[in-house]
Structure 1
Amino acid sequence: MRAAVGALLLAALAACAPIAELPSAPVPYGPAIAIRGAPVPMEPADPTRERLGNFTYAGGLHITSDQTSRLHGLSDLKVWPDGRFLAQGDQSDVVEGRLVLDVRGRLAGVTDAHMHALKDADGLELYAKGQKEFDAEGVAELPNGDRLVSFEQHDRILLYPRDGSIPRQAAMPTVRFKNNDAMEALATDPATGPDAYRVGVEETGEVYACRLSASCVLAGKVALDSGAGLVAMERMPGGRWAYLLRSYSAVRGNVVRLRITDSDGTVVDEVELAKPLTVDNLEGLGVVAGPGRRVRFYLVSDDNFGMYNGLPTDQRTLLLAFDWSPP
C-alpha cells in the first residue's frame, strides 16, 4: 500500500495541467528584467545529438531571473524574424524581449526583457482578482499591433489595443468548455484577414476560425492521441499549420508532439519530445520562416511556478529551438 501511495503522489507532483496556487504574499513586477539562460542539450546522455528525423536541434535554455519571482508559468509564445518575442504567463504576466543567436544561428540567450501584468477593463490587475480570472493561456498579436489573450476557467478572449486603452471582449467559440481544458491555443490568421484568428480547444482538438468583425465557426479538428491535449498552434509559410500536443503519464512523464499539417489538415511531419530527451511541460509555440524552405520552431514550457497542490516539483522554464526542413 505504501508503494502504491508513493507512486500516486509522484504522479500528482509531476502532473502538468493544474494551475499553480497563488503565492502567499505579494510579488514584485518590474518593467525591465535580466534573464539568464543556462544551455541545455537535446539529450543529456548524448549532448552531441542534434537530429530528430527532419528536425535539427538549434539550442535550448533553462531561463531564470534574480530580479523577479514572476518569470514562471509561460503558457504561450510568439516570435518574429528580428528576434522579438512575446510570452504569455498563465497568471496574466506578459514577458517581452529579444532572442540572442550565436554565430551559428543557434539560440544563445535572451536580452531586452520587459515584464508587465495584464489588467481588466476596470484597470485592476487580473492577478489581484484570483485564479479564475487571471488564468491566461494563449496570446496572439494582430497585424495592427492589437493583442488577443485567451483565458480558461472564466472562459473568454480579451483584446488589448496597441494604444493601451482598456481591453474588450473578442469573439470566441459559442460552446461549453470543460473547466481548465478550454482555449489553450490561439494564433492570428492574416491570410484570411487582418482581424482573423484561430482558437484551438485543448480537450477536443477542435479549431475555430474567428474574426473581430464576425463570429467563430468550426474550421477543423486536430486528431489527438489518448490523453493528449492541443496546447498551442501557429500558422506556417505556404498555408501550413503547426500544432503542439501535450500529454502526461506516470510511466513516460511529459510527452510533447510537434505536428505540421497542410491547409487541409493532412499531416506533413511530426516529432515527439519525451525522456530521455530534454522535455518539460511545453505549452508555447513560436514559428519563424528561415532561408530556403527551412522553418524554425521555438517551444517554451510552463513550470507551474514549481508547485503542485502546495508541494514543490522539479519543473523548469525551458526555451527550446528546432529547425525543420521539409521532407
Structure 2
Amino acid sequence: MRLRPILATVTAALAAATCLTAAGPAAAHGGGACSPSVSVDRFSDALDKTTYDGTYVGNLSALAPDRHRTVAALSDRSALFRLDARTLRPEGVIPLADENGAALDAEGLVVDGDGTYLVSSETEPTVRRYSRDGKILDRLPVPEELRTRARTNGSFEGLTLLPGGRTLIASMEYPLAGDPDDQVRLQTWRRTAHGAFRTGAQYTYRTDPGHGVSEITATPGGRLLVLERGFTSGVGNTVRLHLADRHGTAYDKTLLADLTDCPTLGATAEQPQINPLLDNIEGMTVTGRSKGRLNLLLVSDDNQNENQTTRLYALRVRL
C-alpha cells in the first residue's frame, strides 16, 4: 500500500473530534493561535505513564504516518509502537536493536514507500532500515566526520524523506566539534535506481541561541519544518517551529511560531514551564492538509521521568 491513501486516512482520523479525546479524559479542545501562522487545536496526555504489552509507552522521539490506518511512534528505548490513527491508542509494538542485539537510542523515523522503517540513532550515529517485524535489513553509510566529531547524544535527532522518496535527510541535534556554536549539519542520502541510499550533499542550518534541532519533517512542497528545542532548569522548555528553505549549501529559516506563545488549553505541568502546555517536544509529522493549512502531530518525550509528560499535540500551520 502506498503512503498517499494512508496519509489521507490519518488526516481524516486526526481531523475527527475523537482523534485526541477518545483515549481518555486528559485532553483539551478549544484551540487557539500561537502566531499568525500556527494554531494548536488540542492535546492529549492519555498515553502518559501507560504500558502496552509489557512495554512502557513513553520516551517517544518521532512520529510517522504508517500503513493500515496507524501512526508509527518511535521510542528511544528500542521500541516502535503502532498507534491507531483514530484513537491514538497503541495496537502493536516492535522491539528494535542493533546488529549485536543491543539497545538503540533511536531518535528519527521514516516509513518508506515499501512499508519498511528507516530509523536514526544518535549514539553512533547511524541510520538503519528495519522490516515490519523489526529485523535489520540495511545500514546506510555515514560520513567519517559525523561519526568522529559528533557530540555524545547530539547527532541524528531528526529524519525525513522529501516528496518523491529520492532524498533522505538527517539532522544533527547539536554542532560538530569545531563547528560554530549555532551551526548544525543536515546530511542527505540519494536513492539509487536499485533502491539503496548513497551518501549525498551536506547542508548547514543555524539554530537560535541555546537551542538544538529536535526534529525535521518535509512539507508536501519539499521545504522543511524544523523544531528547535531548549531547556533551562527551573524555567522550562522553549520550542520553536521554523520553516526552512535551501539556498546553496545552507538552509535559511523563517520563524513560524514560538510555542511558548500558544494558549495553555488548560494543560498542567509537573515541572516549571513558561507555558504549562509545553514539555520536551521531540517528534513531529505532517498528517495532511485542511482548509489550506498543514495538519501536524507532535509528541513529547517524557524520558520515563515522573516530572515530564508524554503529550500529543495537534497543530495547524499556514505556510
Question: Does residue 267 of the first structure (1) align with residue 240 of the second (2)?
Answer: no
CA contact (8 A) 2:66 2:111 kept: no
Aligned amino acid, residue 161 of structure 1 = S
> Matches of 2:312 and 2:211 in 1, distance apart?
21
Q: Give CA deviations for 1:2-48 in whole Å, capped at 9, x if unaligned.
A: xxxxxxxxxxxxxxxxxxxxxxxxxxxxxxxxx9444344xxxxx85
List aligned pairs for 1:53-202, cutoff 5 A. 53=35, 54-62=37-45, 63-64=47-48, 65-67=50-52, 68-79=54-65, 84-100=70-86, 109-111=87-89, 113-121=91-99, 124=101, 126-127=102-103, 134-162=104-132, 165-175=135-145, 176-191=149-164, 193=166, 196-202=167-173
Which of residues 15, 29, 33 is equivalent to 1:51? 33
Which of residues 174, 183, 194 is equivalent to 1:203? 174
How many Å apart are 1:69 and its aligned residue? 4.6
> Matches of 1:82 and 1:117 in 2, distance apart?
19
How many Å apart are 1:187 and its aligned residue? 0.9
- The answer for the alignment partner of 1:25 in structure 2 is none
> Matches of 1:49 and 1:190 in 2, distance apart?
29
How many Å apart are 1:80 and its aligned residue? 5.8
- The answer for the alignment partner of 2:26 in structure 1 is 39
Question: Does residue 323 of the first structure (1) align with residue 282 of the second (2)?
Answer: no
Q: Which runs of 5+ in 2 are unaligned?
A: 1-21, 176-183, 191-195, 261-273
Q: Give CA deviations for 1:62-110 in whole Å, capped at 9, x if unaligned.
A: 123354451110111113698531111111111112232xxxxxxxx32
Q: Give CA deviations for 1:215-254 in whole Å, capped at 9, x if unaligned.
A: 2421x22221111111111110222210111100125311
- The answer for the alignment partner of 1:131 in structure 2 is none
Aligned amino acid, residue 157 of structure 2 = E
CA contact (8 A) 1:80 1:288 kept: no
CA contact (8 A) 1:258 1:271 kept: yes
- The answer for the alignment partner of 1:106 in structure 2 is none
> Matches of 1:94 and 1:61 in 2, distance apart?
20
- The TM-score with structure 2 as length reference comes to 0.74
Runs of 4+ aligned residues of structure 1 deviating over 6 Å after TM superposition are none
Alpha-carbon spacing, 1:38–1:83, altered in 2? closer, same or farther (3 Å): farther
Cα RMSD of the aligned pairs, angstroms, is 2.5
- The TM-score with structure 1 as length reference comes to 0.72
Identity across the alignment (%): 24
- The answer for the alignment partner of 2:201 in structure 1 is 217
How many residue pairs align between the two structures?
A: 262
How many Å apart are 1:165 and its aligned residue? 4.8
> Matches of 2:67 and 2:94 in 1, distance apart?
23
Aligned amino acid, residue 97 of structure 1 = L
> Matches of 2:119 and 2:27 in 1, distance apart?
30
Alpha-carbon spacing, 1:191–1:251, altered in 2? closer, same or farther (3 Å): same
Aligned amino acid, residue 267 of structure 1 = K
Instruction: Choose 238-247 or 60-69, whichever is displaced more.
Output: 60-69
CA contact (8 A) 1:81 1:289 kept: no
CA contact (8 A) 1:39 1:59 kept: no
Aligned amino acid, residue 281 of structure 1 = N
> Matches of 1:71 and 1:112 in 2, distance apart?
8
- The answer for the alignment partner of 2:180 in structure 1 is none
> Matches of 2:134 and 2:61 in 1, distance apart?
22
Q: Which runs of 5+ in 1 are unaligned?
A: 1-34, 42-46, 101-108, 128-133, 307-312
Alpha-carbon spacing, 1:278–1:192, altered in 2? closer, same or farther (3 Å): same
